[in-house]
Amino acid sequence: MHNKSLAELSASLQSGEISSVELTQHFLERIKRHDSALNSFVTVTEEQALSAARQADQLIATGQAGQLTGIPIAQKDIFCTEGIRTACGSKMLDNFISPYSATVVEKLDTAGMPLLGKLNMDEFAMGSSNETSFYGPVKNPWDLERVPGGSSGGSAAAVAARLAPIATGTDTGGSIRQPASLCGLTGIKPTYGRVSRWGMIAFASSLDQAGVLGHSAADCALVLGAMAGFDAKDSTSIDRETPDYSASLSTPLEGLKIGLPKEYFDEGLDSGVGKVVDTAIERYRTLGAEVIEISLPNTHLAVPAYYVIAPAECSSNLSRFDGVRYGYRCKDPKDLTDMYERSRGEAFGAEVKNRIMIGTYALSAGYYDAYYLKAQKVRRLISDDFKRAFEQVDVIMGPTSPVTAFKIGEKADDPISMYLSDIYTIAVNLAGLPGMSIPAGLVEGLPAGLQLIGNAFEEGKLLNIAHQFQQVTDWHLQSPAAFA
């Protein structure tokens, strides 16, 4: 049952082959059996999940069910969930029980999807490997000595190991696409503003966007359709109709123009990953696509620009965690200043502290123009590169990550190497565009992903392009042997 697609699970539920309670219990049992090896969940909501499953079965029995009704889901622990701990991977929020649910959570609850639990993540979504979590690192199901990617590593590991049929994630600089690549999944980051950010704990407000990690483009299309849409509670939400993403999956690719940025195939790309990407591109040629070499000349500036803008925004967003209103508070503070200093010093991890310090420095009076303002100007240049590229092509393709999953601790003392893990994904967030990673092959037994980048609000086109590839390949159906 855990190897079925969402459409197949929906059909099984509608036909009465299995009930939602039975399906939910099946995944809960897999979590109990396997997650001690993975550390992908920080909270398992068994009671709530089974209660929601019973309600779903009632809807199915009375003919009121939608296509997702009764199918379990797991949420990244960055989304607030009413009455359930929302820790965001941090000691700072280890005791925080949210009084409300994020819009994304509410929408998927309304769709009738029982919540299996909350998924581990890099602290406040800051990381590329899921090693910065207060709850310990997540393990990659393909090799338990390796990282799953971050910050949505818990989401990726849980879905790859078939502990959940699908999961939410968030992507600030590649945090859906990179874990999808390293764990052999399909992951989509929609256009900035397509999915509500209300109730999603903020890291970098102009970059964060919620999305989905699943096995196939068809699965992701179903859930993204339920998540997306305008939300008046979110000032960054775009008031634009959400298309039926599933309806356009079967459009033929004849005449599709694919752009290959020469900057994405440089010496930093692992040769094995490069071969996987080349083979995938050739498969698209056989589907009728035309391949055109393009240039995104400011690509090399994406990482430095991101690591000024994102820390600047995080230093502002995380100022609310001060030990006063909610979250961690130090014991026996001497005075207000001592409470601020010790609460933040004791509750934030090293990576979060580093980024707060960098961001505060970049926003300070003497350096704002030299760093933050300049980074925003570079951001515009990067966005303009994409605009020019989409005048020539329909979609941009390349590697998602320059390497496959590396060993836990391997880059702990090399932050530059760690930050460069997202070199091919960061520019997409800076430009606010939709991006996907789809499984494209294995390199020495480890998954490698192909990245698809679309023009604004063209998630449907990306899902269609991914789905057509998945109709003629089976990489998205493969799973780590230990969790089959």
Q: How confident is the model at residue 37, as a pLDDT? A: 98
**Calpha distance 284→466 (Å, rounded):** 10
Q: How confident is the model at residue 157, as a pLDDT? A: 98
Condensed to tens digits (0 to 9), the pLDDT of residues 217-270 reads 999 999 999 999 999 999 999 999 999 999 999 999 999 999 999 999 988 999
Question: CA–CA distance from 461 to each of 157, 164, 340, 417 (Å)?
Answer: 27, 26, 48, 33
Q: How confident is the model at residue 392, as a pLDDT? A: 97
Question: CA–CA distance from 416 to each of 163, 200, 268, 358, 411 (Å)?
Answer: 33, 28, 13, 14, 9
Instruction: Tell me the pTM.
Output: 0.97
DSSP 121-133: -SGGG--SSS---
CB 251 within 8 A of CB 279: no
Residue 114: both structure tokens together: 């029982």
In the chain the domains, ranked by start, together with CATH numbers, are 6-257+392-483 (3.90.1300.10)
Q: How confident is the model at residue 83, as a pLDDT? A: 97
Q: How confident is the model at residue 1, as a pLDDT? A: 87
Q: How confident is the model at residue 366, as a pLDDT? A: 87
The DSSP output letter for 421 is G
Nearest one of 122, 119, 172, 181 to 150, comparing CA atoms: 122
Long-range contacts of 469-473, Cβ-Cβ distance < 8 Å, separation of 24 or more: 469/280, 469/283, 469/284, 469/287, 469/438, 470/186, 470/216, 470/217, 470/218, 470/438, 472/283, 472/286, 472/287, 473/280, 473/283, 473/440
Q: How confident is the model at residue 234, as a pLDDT? A: 97
Which stretches of the chain score pLDDT less than 70?
Answer: none
Locus of tokens 């078939």: 162
Torsion of CA 400, 403, 405, 407, to 10 degrees: -150
Active centre residues (catalytic):
76, 151, 175
Q: How confident is the model at residue 175, as a pLDDT? A: 98
Q: How confident is the model at residue 413, as a pLDDT? A: 84
Question: CA–CA distance from 398 to each of 180, 240, 266, 350 (Å)?
Answer: 14, 29, 11, 32
Question: Would strands 435-443 and 446-453 be described as parallel, antiparallel, or unpaired?
Answer: antiparallel
